[in-house]
Amino acid sequence: MKLLQLLFVSLILVACTSQAVQVPIGGDRIILRAGGDTCMINTDGSGKSTERSPWRLKDQPKWSPDSRWIVFSTENSETYYKDSAIYVMKSDGSQRNRITYHPRGSSGPTWSPDGTRIAYYARDNESGIYILKVECVLRQEKCDLNPDYLTGGDFPDWSPDGRRIVYQRDYNKNPNIYVINADGTGEPVNLTPDLGTCLDPKWSPNGAQIAFSCYQKGTHDIFVMNADGSGLVNLTKGVGSNTQPAWSPDGSKIAFISSYRDGLGKQIGWLDTQRSSAMYVMSAGGTGVTRLSLRDDEMVVWYTWLPSAFKKKP
């Protein structure tokens, strides 16, 4: 049970499935938040957990490269983004520390490959992507938590070699996927200048490709491209509305959130944007699309893969 306790202690299943099944040790697993609850799902469909998270999480948690720490964003209010901040804690839930203090909130944290820095988005006098050194926090020392501004944009993701950061820019205009050197040198490069509205970039574990979503012909599709913007491939090909792709730890699969397929897409809240959606997974080549979360009356808010280290028995 120690492995199940490492993720914020206890989850509840009600929003993810109507049946509680014990989660076996081993296999790929995803943590997701849907319908107000946080659930664990095996990507082979063999079971879901019944444990519940005690903390409200605005963004998906991210494990440090050594799997010992978790960074996440939380908010004290469901209405005001200014209440959001970024925290780090040990993977057993202890030593929870707030690390950002922006007046209008911060979100979307991602670890550097060496685990010493975090890139994130902040709504500030100069909104954009910031980089913060967190070594002192991890050593439990007194810190001067002053971040460095990198560039305008949001949803950053660090390249596996630590040299670059991919992100989306111009969210309220015509967002595209950009890449910039993590040390701030050079100019940002637009990797998707001719694709329209593109969001949610994620590096593959080997650094060779980037997965992202784009809005074309009335729907969102999941694409992959080479790290230089070449070799573009549409993986979902207009079936459903698909967003938030993320690679499995071994790079063999891509998970994503989808609506307007399998009877999904019904309005479930007072906002038109609150539509039912579900969790899916497919091969990195776009084949074998499999639905994981089962209810038709919930909206998946966020998810993340459990790191490979969590597959081992304690």
- How far apart are alpha carbons 119 and 211 in whole angstroms? 19
Task: Quote the longest CA-to-CA distance of the chain.
Answer: 53
Which pLDDT belongs to residue 274? 86
Which pLDDT belongs to residue 10? 33
Residues in the chain: 314
What's phi and psi for 210, nearest 5 deg? -130, 130
pTM to 2 decimal places: 0.86
Q: Please report which helix (H) or strand (E) contains residue 137, including its range.
A: helix 135-138
Which pLDDT belongs to residue 265? 93
Which pLDDT belongs to residue 47? 53
- What tens-digit pLDDT sequence spans the chain (314 residues)? 333 333 332 332 334 543 332 333 334 788 888 877 777 788 875 655 544 555 556 677 899 999 899 999 876 444 455 678 899 999 888 888 999 999 888 989 999 999 999 999 998 778 899 999 999 999 888 888 899 999 999 999 999 999 999 999 976 677 899 999 999 999 999 999 988 899 999 999 999 999 999 998 889 999 999 999 999 999 999 999 999 999 999 999 999 999 999 999 999 888 887 899 999 999 999 999 999 888 899 999 889 998 765 544 33
Instruction: Look up residue 115 and give its two tokens.
Output: 């685990």
Q: What is the 3-state secondary structure (H, E, C) of 165-219?
A: EEEEECCCCCCEEEEEECCCCCCCEECCCCCCEEEEEEECCCCCEEEEEEEECCE
- Please state the domain extents for the chain: 60-152
User: Which residue do the tokens 């490709």 mark?
Assistant: 209
Taking only Cα atoms into account, the Rg of the chain, rounded to an integer number of angstroms, comes to 18
Which pLDDT belongs to residue 22? 32
Q: Position 48: which residue type?
A: K
Number of H helices, E strands in the chain: 2, 23
